[in-house]
Amino acid sequence: MSSFLTHHGVVVALVCAAAAIVYGAVTSRSLLALSPGSERMRAISAAVQEGARAYLNRQYATIAGVGVVLFIVLIPIQNIRVAIGFAIGGIFSAAAGYIGMNVSVRANARVAESARGGVSPALSVAFRGGAVTGLLVVGLALIGVAGYYGILTWLVGETPRRAVDALIGLGFGGSLISVFARLGGGIFTKAADVGADLVGKIEAGIPEDDPRNPAVIADNVGDNVGDCAGMAADLFETYAVTAVAVMLLGVLLFDQASTLALYPLVLGGLSILASIIGTFAVRSRSGDVERALYQGLILSGGLAAAAFLPITYWMMNHVSLKHGATPHWWKFYLCSLIGIGVTACLFVITDYFTSTRFAPVKSTARASQTGHATNIIQGLAQGYQSTAPPAIVIALGILGAWKLTGGGSQGIYGIGVAVMAQLSLTGLIVALDAFGPITDNAGGIAEMADLPEEVRDVTDPLDAVGNTTKAVTKGYAIGSAALAALVLFNAFERELNDKGKVYSFSIGDPAVLIGLLIGGLMVYLFVSLAMEAVGRAGGAVVEEVRRQFREKPGIMEGTEQPEYGTAVGLVTRAAQREMIIPSLIPIVFTFVVGLISTQALGGLLIGVIVVGLFVAISMTSGGGAWDNAKKLIEDGAYGGKGSEAHAAAVTGDTVGDPYKDTAGPAINPMIKVANIVALLIIPIIT
């Protein structure tokens, strides 16, 4: 079996990845066969589809322009194989987000229609819509990595080391799409959301998703391009980049280069099969939506953990390090269990800080009784507090995997195995995230189409759970980004040392300290520009909605139709314009600092990883707490809708929106882009 996997591991990975694509195709077909509801529901859904397609088409056209320039630049810096890998990564990442988003925007009306039959059918449709995106992400990522590796080693005749070097370009392509998609989609969704809420809820006093609000379609479009396509691109690149980084460490550290290059690919393939099985466990007979979703995740995690045991034995039982004692195979297996355990802990912690069931959200809602300022103060405090438990869990996970495999370089490889195991659940994680915008849109369609109250009684609880799953999946994405960046940094260090000079990055070196400061600066500059972008674009939406209310007084009486397309076009242009400069920060800063000083570049990467982790967690968890504090009050706590506490909570949620859905999540790809750019420019800085 060991010999079979060594020679045919690429085939195993490709077959498993193909199973994910087939699952996506079959599930999409069954979903689209369901009724999308009444003529009014179909019209609303079509408007959301049109807006989402228009935005993504424009976004990808903008990214393509940047991509062509980088493709050309990579050829002299690296070689044509790296540049081709860059193109593959970008195309596959864009395809995963685009196809998944198209399924999601068609699933929304079908969820609303299914809600007539109760929670169970609506849950099934919404989750399967998200699962299409999730399985496409891991399927396309694995096809890209395994397929290109197979082409280079089998057809071109490259060594495993040179083939893996070319795959770094593939990771860069995925990362570039990710940072643009996360940032551009985040600016779009939150500008529309902020504009719709400030004028609709606060000034006009109309409900969320009221069809009289000219920004309501833009808000629904934003849910998909930000949370669905954005998260898909984010975790696509995390999955691909981590697999490549673990492969690179394997071929650098071990004698059996081919085996170590294939090991993470086979782990990823088996995890896809576990995720497909897990999707069938998501069903609810009791009406407990959250439990139904998590039982599928738990089953997939258990199946993956069981499958990792024989695979690790077959592939790692006879490997040997180039230098030093080789850890026993079962220690690598324990590292994989640590990765799954870290995922479980991050889920529980993020759920605690963002769910309406627990103290952090309740305390933020309670603080709203005394005004807007106290809501903001409490939300900020909860965001800062939320960084401590994940940091401890990640630190313990790093320590456990590192110690198990003997410390040193092989210890870093053990951490890489843990991260790869953590990412084994990516398919279902993305499914849980996409579940959020699908149910949110379903509730909006029910409201705009004047469906019976019992439909909203089904879609509202689904939407509330979707808010929590979106926050939880962001916590997972941030944790995996930090661990993946650690593996990338070690690969950067190893590649430098392979050039014949030993580098160490001590804080006692002024160049390293300068780099640390620049790395931290990059995070805060990136975040500030993203927040400003949402503020400017949101302000433009506010003015547009006010204009329509002023010039078309019949909108409020229902005798005139709002100009939905005007708001969608306005936000699209703003998001495309605003995303360029922040997205270039991790590329330009890293490149310039690398040209000046390799020591400073190492410090920059450390600063980006550490500062980025804490800022991202505080923003996503704090924003999630603000959001669900508002939901808790709207459900009747502390005076309910229309109360002073509700007005304060709406303000907190409006501040938290760009925190949790724009700036915070976009830090994940930013961290990895900086690390990958550092790897790619090694030939010109050494």
- Tell me the mean pLDDT in the region 76-83: 92
If pLDDT is split at 50, 70 and 90, which confidence band does 1 have?
low
Per-residue confidence (pLDDT) for residue 259, from 0 to 100? 86
Q: Is the pLDDT of residue 510 over 80?
A: yes
Amino acid (1-letter code) at residue 570: L
The residue with greater pLDDT, 508 or 372, is 372
Per-residue confidence (pLDDT) for residue 585, from 0 to 100? 94
Per-residue confidence (pLDDT) for residue 339, from 0 to 100? 92
Q: Is the pLDDT of residue 462 over 90?
A: no
- Tell me the mean pLDDT in the region 102-106: 83
With a pLDDT cut of 70, the percent of the chain lying above it is: 97
Helix (H/G/I), strand (E/B), else coil: 254: strand
Which range (79-93, 276-290, 344-358) has the least confidence?
276-290
Tens digit of each residue's pLDDT (9 = 90 or more) over 549-576:
888 888 787 778 888 888 888 888 888 8
Per-residue confidence (pLDDT) for residue 305, from 0 to 100? 93
- Tell me the mean pLDDT in the region 421-435: 85
d(CA 686, CA 317): 36
If pLDDT is split at 50, 70 and 90, which confidence band does 2 have?
low
Helix or strand holding residue 453 (H, E): helix 453-498
The residue with greater pLDDT, 450 or 268, is 268
Q: Is the pLDDT of residue 228 over 80?
A: no
Structural contact between residues 210 and 645, judged by C-beta atoms closer than 8 angstroms: no
Q: Is the pLDDT of residue 471 over 70?
A: yes
The residue with greater pLDDT, 612 or 541, is 612
List, in sequence order, the alpha helices (H) in 280-387: 289-316, 329-354, 359-367, 372-385
Closest alpha carbon to 278 in 103, 427, 420, 143 = 427
Report the interhelical angle of 229-253 vs 257-279 (nearest 10°). 150
Per-residue confidence (pLDDT) for residue 5, from 0 to 100? 63
List, in sequence order, the alpha helices (H) in 552-643: 554-557, 564-596, 598-634
Per-residue confidence (pLDDT) for residue 82, from 0 to 100? 94
Structural contact between residues 512 and 599, judged by C-beta atoms closer than 8 angstroms: yes
Q: Is the pLDDT of residue 235 over 70?
A: yes
Structural contact between residues 209 and 459, judged by C-beta atoms closer than 8 angstroms: no
Per-residue confidence (pLDDT) for residue 230, from 0 to 100? 78
Identify the burial level of 214 via C-beta atoms within 10 angstroms of its C-beta, where 0-12 means exposed, 13-18 middle and 19 or more buried.
buried
Enumerate residues 6+ apart whose C-beta is below 8 A from 160. 153, 251, 257, 258, 260, 261
d(CA 149, CA 488): 19
**Which range scores top for mean pLDDT: 245-249, 439-443, 616-620?**
616-620
- Tell me the mean pLDDT in the region 64-73: 92
- Tell me the mean pLDDT in the region 286-311: 87
Q: Is the pLDDT of residue 673 over 80?
A: yes
Structural contact between residues 164 and 244, judged by C-beta atoms closer than 8 angstroms: yes
Per-residue confidence (pLDDT) for residue 18, from 0 to 100? 95
Q: Is the pLDDT of residue 7 over 70?
A: no
- Tell me the mean pLDDT in the region 487-509: 81
Tens digit of each residue's pLDDT (9 = 90 or more) over 9-51:
889 999 999 999 999 999 999 988 888 888 888 888 888 888 8
Per-residue confidence (pLDDT) for residue 594, from 0 to 100? 94
Enumerate residues 6+ apart whose C-beta is below 8 A from 605. 485, 489, 492, 515, 519, 590, 674, 675, 678
Whether this prediction's pTM lies above 0.85 is answered by yes
Identify the burial level of 285 via C-beta atoms within 10 angstroms of its C-beta, where 0-12 means exposed, 13-18 middle and 19 or more buried.
exposed
Q: Is the pLDDT of residue 242 over 80?
A: yes
Per-residue confidence (pLDDT) for residue 92, from 0 to 100? 92
- Tell me the mean pLDDT in the region 595-624: 93
Enumerate residues 6+ apart whose C-beta is below 8 A from 175. 89, 237, 241, 669, 672, 673, 676
Tens digit of each residue's pLDDT (9 = 90 or more) over 143-187:
999 999 999 998 888 888 889 889 999 999 988 888 888 888 888
What is the pLDDT of the chain when averaged over all its residues? 87
With a pLDDT cut of 90, the percent of the chain lying above it is: 33
Q: Is the pLDDT of residue 477 over 80?
A: yes
